[in-house]
Structure 1
Amino acid sequence: MYEPKTKETDDSVIEFIEAVENPKKRQDAYRLLEIFEETSGYPAKMWGPSIVGFGSYHYVYATGHEGDAPLVGFSPRKAKTALYFATGDDERSKLLEKFGKHTSGKSCVYINKTEDIDVSVLKELIVQSIAFLQKLYPPTP
């Protein structure tokens, strides 16, 4: 049976951010922490060893594969900072057009630094992603 690698942990988000070697990346991580917490309304939690996630949802695919994941999150990596948003929504594509300097992967949006992006659009992406995932995977009471 498949066991997801990225699970919520009790590790300290602050200790993780403090361990980021590059001072600029560490500063950006604190700024993202504040923006994501304020905008999402969820406290930051570590997911696996390197993702700071906010909120969570339980997914079940048609294949029967299921698990839990953060609604949104970020990871300050050596090369670029990865931002995690839901995929599969046209609204995300429209927002990314106004976002600023970034590259996109399947589920990640990569930035070099927060000065390269429009923070108001980042907030819209956070809200849009949470709404999309909660509609797709409604929270259970």
Structure 2
Amino acid sequence: MAKERKTKSAPLDRAAFLAGVESAERRAEAERLIGLFGRVTGWEPRLWGPSMVGFGRYEYRYDSGHGGESLATGFSPRKAELSIYILPGYADFGPILARLGPHRTGKSCLYVKHLDRVDAVVLEELIRAGLADLATRWTVHPV
């Protein structure tokens, strides 16, 4: 029996989502990121799980047979920092990241403490590069 995915896509109720973001700073940053990702991708935001705002989606299947569906790019306004998802996390974006501003990285995540301390133009470039890299591996869908 196949396991049911924990993180599913659903329509984003923007007002309800933003109301659930505790700090005023994170709420404002989430609002800015919804606009930024929307401009960069041209896609509508969707909620993935309880706290991730995603733009686009892709379906994956590994050689092992494991597969699923995930957001193509997006973010989550976490309490300590913003998590920005640049998937699938295989490409070396070092030259772009060097121009971004203060951040740290995980495999497929970019962590930013304060959105106003990073270069928004460079962040847009990074999102585009991440989507282009993702599209070389999987088919990316707008919804």
Same fold per superposition (TM over 0.5): yes
CA distance in 2, matches of 1:94, 1:42: 26
Return the structure number with greater helix share.
1
Query: Do the aligned residues in 1 keep the contact of 2:73 with 2:85 (CA within 8 Å)?
Result: yes
Structure 1 runs (4+) deviating above 2 angstroms are 1-4
Return the structure number with greater strand share.
2
Identify which range, 11-20 or 54-63, moves more after superposition: 11-20
Establish whether residue 49 from structure 1 lines up as the match of residue 50 from structure 2: yes
2:91 aligns to what? 89
How many residue pairs are counted as aligned between the two chains? 139
Q: How does 1:1-141 map to 2 (within 5 A)?
A: 1-86=2-87, 87-90=89-92, 92-139=93-140
CA distance in 2, matches of 1:109, 1:16: 21
Q: What is the DSSP-based 3-state SS (H/G/I as helix, E as strand, rest coil) of the residue aligned with 1:71?
A: strand
Normalising to structure 2: TM-score of the pair? 0.91
CA distance in 1, matches of 2:5, 2:99: 33
Task: Quote how far apart the aligned CAs of 1:139 are.
Answer: 4.5
CA distance in 1, matches of 2:140, 2:55: 14
Query: Do the aligned residues in 1 keep the contact of 2:104 with 2:110 (CA within 8 Å)?
Result: yes
Mind listing any 5+ residue stretches in structure 1 that lack a counterpart? none
Normalising to structure 1: TM-score of the pair? 0.92
CA distance in 2, matches of 1:54, 1:23: 23
Query: Do the aligned residues in 2 keep the contact of 1:13 with 1:52 (CA within 8 Å)?
Result: no
CA distance in 1, matches of 2:11, 2:41: 20
Task: Quote how far apart the aligned CAs of 1:11 are.
Answer: 4.6
Indicate the RMSD between aligned Cα atoms, in angstroms.
1.4
